[in-house]
Structure 1
Amino acid sequence: MNLSFFDQFSSPYLMGIPLIPLSLLLPALLLPSPEHRWVNNRFSTLQLWFIRLITKQLMSPLNKTGHKWALLLTSLMLFLLSINLLGLLPYTFTPTTQLSMNMALAFPLWLATLLVGLRNQPSASLGHLLPEGTPTPLIPALILIETTSLLIRPLALGVRLTANLTAGHLLIQLISTASIALLPAMPPISILTTLILFLLTILEVAVAMIQAYVFVLLLSLYLQENI
């Protein structure tokens, strides 16, 4: 019984073929492609407004040099947001509950921001490892601490996204199982549990959106330190 709660996080296979690539491509197929028309439909207009809003929010902490990353960061935001929300539907799989996938997203992007800083302003980037005015006896220890905090950033990005989504999915499954089990014996308690499940689902939708935004926002802040 305990193992069945974690079956939703196992990678899906069909006839020995992994379905993770399909789950990654499905959100892109649901988004409408731009059309060469004078007037777009309502859904395309709403999508364009939403993309502009996201881009404005993500680019606000960055200076003009970092605006070159607008397409990458906005696309990543839409990608994570669509995957997280589609994963809340029944009989679906959420790829962002896999730590390996989140690390595959976090590590290259974090490394790219670090390399940009080392290429454009190496002195300023290395200067973050040693704040100005540090006492001489504390310099080796402080450099070690700052280096560790720098290297742990991609791990924190991946673990944060994985832990929040996994905890929410597990809690929803536990409460839904309890609601079904209590229905024959204690219907009033089951109805109350169902109401809690409904509120938790709304909260999980908010968490899915917030975690996608936090992931990309932290990347933009890391980029701002290196440009």
Structure 2
Amino acid sequence: MKTLVCNCNHTMPLDGPQLTAALGQTIEPHSQLCRREIVRFQRAAQSTEPLLVACTQEAKLFAALAAQTEGVPPPDVRPIRFVNIRETAGWSREAKAASPKIAALLAAAALPEPEPVPTASYHSAGRCLVIGDTESLDMARKLLADGLELTLLDTGRPGGRAAPAALPLQHEHPVHAGRVRSVRGWLGAFEVDIESANPVDLDVCTRCNACLAACPEGAIG
């Protein structure tokens, strides 16, 4: 892959011989590739060889110029890649010793595009299971209820309190108590196996909270 580098009007040190040795191709640093030396970009762009330009600030300018230059392959045939070596290395405090890092950035940018990864389509109906203690569930309910259809799973007493926290009086969402045994699936198609840990069905509870004070074992929460 043909690589063009520029020291951005001599504002960063570029060691051509060291980059040449590291990358296995002749690297000749330019100083005004996007201005006075723009014809060198045009000549490189007219080749069918893959092209990498070490400048992202002027990527739009280079792309527009390539489209207007006769003999330049269209981007769907030979795309031009751009990589930033200025802010990531050349303008750092260690710029004079940054040649290995610059070479690595250039080499990484020249790697082939990765193979596409498997994907899974999903459909979300807006249903959301929130898992946590009573206080956390109450906070999540206030944040999410306007946009999602919530189901709440109360996993126990918040903060290790001696007495279980009372449920809110509003019965706006299905509420269960217990712990999660397993979770399978993906976004939009999760399956959650829950082990109940409360003798009271919180989904039909009237929220009078009388059972909390009456139970001598503290088993309701």
**TM-score normalized with structure 1 length:** 0.19
Q: Which has the larger radius of gyration?
A: 2
- Higher helix proportion: 1
TM-score, reference length from structure 2: 0.19
